[in-house]
Structure 1
Amino acid sequence: MKTNKQNPDFLCIGVKLLKWFSVHGRDLPFRKTDDPYKIWICEIIFQQTRIQQGLNHYHRFINRFPDVQTLAEASSDEVLLHWKGLGYYSRALNIHKASHQIMENFGGVFPQEYDDILSLKGVGKYTAAAVHSICFGGHLPAVDGNFYRVLSRIFADDYDISTTGAFSHFSSLALLMMPLGKAGEFNQAMMDLGSEICRPRNPYCEICPLNADCTAFQLKKVHEFPKKLKKIKPTELQLQYAFVQHGDHFLIRRRNESSIWKKLYEFPTEIDEKYKTYELDSTEIKHKLTHRNLTVIIRHFIIKSQEEFENLAEEGGFHIVDYEQSAAKSFPKPLENYLKIRFEK
């Protein structure tokens, strides 16, 4: 469906949504502020994390980094540590880099213009529109998965959401419904409706405030929308590690920025042939990323000689840590789980 001209019928849907939101909108702590820094952080955190799961992480992060300057002055190690448990660590590195951009390019003041917000590292069209509309009154829809789902069902629109044109197409539909001066509220209302009512599976259509306006509901075809024809086949990837241990200590190093798990800590990825006689066992861990299926194989080595152990560390550029010290570092989830199993028996 393609529509270019706004009309009162569509605006009425938006007004109805805002009335519902004024009563049923979620009581979330970051909705009690108009600080664009905090709105930005929460938008990044909750892109891949459910609200209830991410609230404690949000509070912990904001308590430690209450403003852009505090974040910019921190080390990447500390930023990653306070992101621990959220996954998607590249996002933490991106907001850290963006904080430096704000300090250097905008005098430490969070930018107000949409294009300036979009220029920040790791900020896409959705996040830029959300911050711009909520904090600065920009008349822009913050189109995400909730928007795709709600709008495609309301209009019974079969536009493929996996295509590059989907953002623009559904933005135009959202603008038909968005009352002037209410973009921030409208965007948050759409987020809440999509999260709480118009869910991907088992939506609560009977109590939806827009069910009388929803074409898919009237046609009994809600579960046919949204349309997503293009499926990305995950790639298979195998990683091998050596867990090299001497007493209560083991070897770790920090990853570079060239691949997955950028700047997180890991175990050695190689071991000298002469040490293979010290191998005890191996563990295979399956782990799924967004578009990758990982098989992580960890071989366990016990080095009895402290001198040999220290030589290995020096030759390979590794840190020697115990389990308590490793807790102050950020590891990929499979390695973090491995450490818990190994030391918390």
Structure 2
Amino acid sequence: MKTKKQNADFLHVGRKLLDWYEINGRDLPFRKTSDPYKIWICEIIFQQTRIEQGLNHYRNFIERFPDVQTLANAHTDEVLLYWKGLGYYSRALNLHKAALQIINDFNGVFPSDHNDILQLKGVGKYTAAAISSICFGKKIAAVDGNFYRVLSRVFADDFDVSHSKAFDYFSELALKMMPENEAGHFNEAMMDLGSEICKPKNPVCLYCPLNEDCLAFNLGKIPLFPVKTKKVKPTDLELTYYFVEFKDQFLIKQRKEDFIWKKLYEFPIQIPESFEKFITGQKKILHKLTHKNLTIHIYKVTLSSKKIFDQFSVDEEFSAITFDDSHQKSFPKPLENYLSSRFKGE
């Protein structure tokens, strides 16, 4: 199937989208500002988090870290703590590193050049395009899954969205639709249309402002678009932890940055053979990451000697904390759930 987009009036379609957005655009706090710092934070938060889930996190994060300087000066643990509940913690680590980049490389001023924005840690093509268009008026399409879906359907375009050239291909298509000096609003309109109307499943086509122009809708072929052939098969991974406790304390250590759950806290992953007789329980947890299926075994080790507990803690460089103290640390979700159930007596 080949696209029929050469017959479309691109700007006409783009203008209809903007007219719809002017009336129906979502009232979101970060749309009341053109501050690149705040737009950057919101774009990173909402990359893998739904708007309704992330709004309070966005507000709390901005309240605690209102500018680049504050974020750069913060300790990593606190940044992770304010990210708690959003998942994909590498996003928070990258924000912190990028804030330091802005301080060191741009004298603390958020860069306005598109290529400079792309150099920031954790900032990809989509995020750089969103910031450049919304904050600096650059005519750049912020192509993401919403763009792929809407444009594929409107033009019945079978270009594979998993192809390495998909971003460039759909950027070119979007730019033909984008009215002059409207890049920011156009990108936000496309985001809203993809999120609220042109959904991945069960799109509400009858309420779409582009349904008269949408080839897939008029051909009755909405389910065929977008085309995506390349799928990443998840790998299976098995992990073992030991919840080592003495009275109201247990042991934790911060992870490094060389694998999943970077810089989050975890329980010991091994114990001395002499500890095995103190194992008093076991729990198996199944957890899914983007490309990994995890099977996690957690063994509860209840020690009867503070001397042994303290010695193991010192020898293996663990920290001993209470459950109340643990609220100030960020754990991988399955370990956080284990702690909650453990101290609720489940």
TM beyond 0.5 = yes
**Contact 1:68–1:108 (Cα < 8 Å) also in 2:** yes
**Distance in 2 between residues matched to 1:211 and 1:337, nearest whole Å:** 45
Show structure 1 runs of 5+ residues with no match. none
2:136 counterpart of 1:136: yes
Q: Which amino acid aligns with 1:90?
A: S
Corresponding residue for 1:89?
89
Task: Map 1:194-343; keep pairs closer than 5 Å.
Answer: 194-343=194-343
**Distance in 2 between residues matched to 1:291 and 1:269, nearest whole Å:** 22
**Distance in 1 between residues matched to 2:215 and 2:239, nearest whole Å:** 48
Deviation at 1:281, TM superposition (A): 1.3
**Aligned residue pair count:** 344
Deviation at 1:21, TM superposition (A): 0.2
Corresponding residue for 2:26?
26
**Distance in 1 between residues matched to 2:3 and 2:275, nearest whole Å:** 67
> What is the TM-score with the length of structure 2 in the denominator?
0.98
Corresponding residue for 2:149?
149
- Higher mean alpha-carbon deviation, 125-134 vs 164-173, is at 164-173
**Aligned-partner SS, 2:311:** helix
Structure 1 pair 39/172, CA: closer, same or farther in 2 (3 Å)? same
Corresponding residue for 2:17?
17
**Contact 1:286–1:295 (Cα < 8 Å) also in 2:** yes
**Contact 2:253–2:317 (Cα < 8 Å) also in 1:** yes
Give the superposed CA RMSD.
Answer: 1.2
> What is the TM-score with the length of structure 1 in the denominator?
0.98
Q: Which amino acid aligns with 1:256?
A: K
Runs (4+) of structure 1 exceeding 2 A deviation are 1-5
2:170 counterpart of 1:170: yes
Q: Which amino acid aligns with 1:314?
A: V
**Distance in 2 between residues matched to 1:190 and 1:126, nearest whole Å:** 13
Using the aligned pairs only, state the percent identity. 62
Corresponding residue for 1:77?
77
**Contact 1:3–1:173 (Cα < 8 Å) also in 2:** no
**Distance in 1 between residues matched to 2:223 and 2:29, nearest whole Å:** 33
Task: Map 1:180-199; keep pairs closer than 5 Å.
Answer: 180-199=180-199
Q: Which amino acid aligns with 2:130?
A: A
Corresponding residue for 2:49?
49
**Distance in 2 between residues matched to 1:8 and 1:148, nearest whole Å:** 17
Deviation at 1:2, TM superposition (A): 6.9
2:64 counterpart of 1:59: no
**Distance in 2 between residues matched to 1:70 and 1:21, nearest whole Å:** 34
**Contact 2:3–2:156 (Cα < 8 Å) also in 1:** no
**Contact 1:4–1:172 (Cα < 8 Å) also in 2:** no
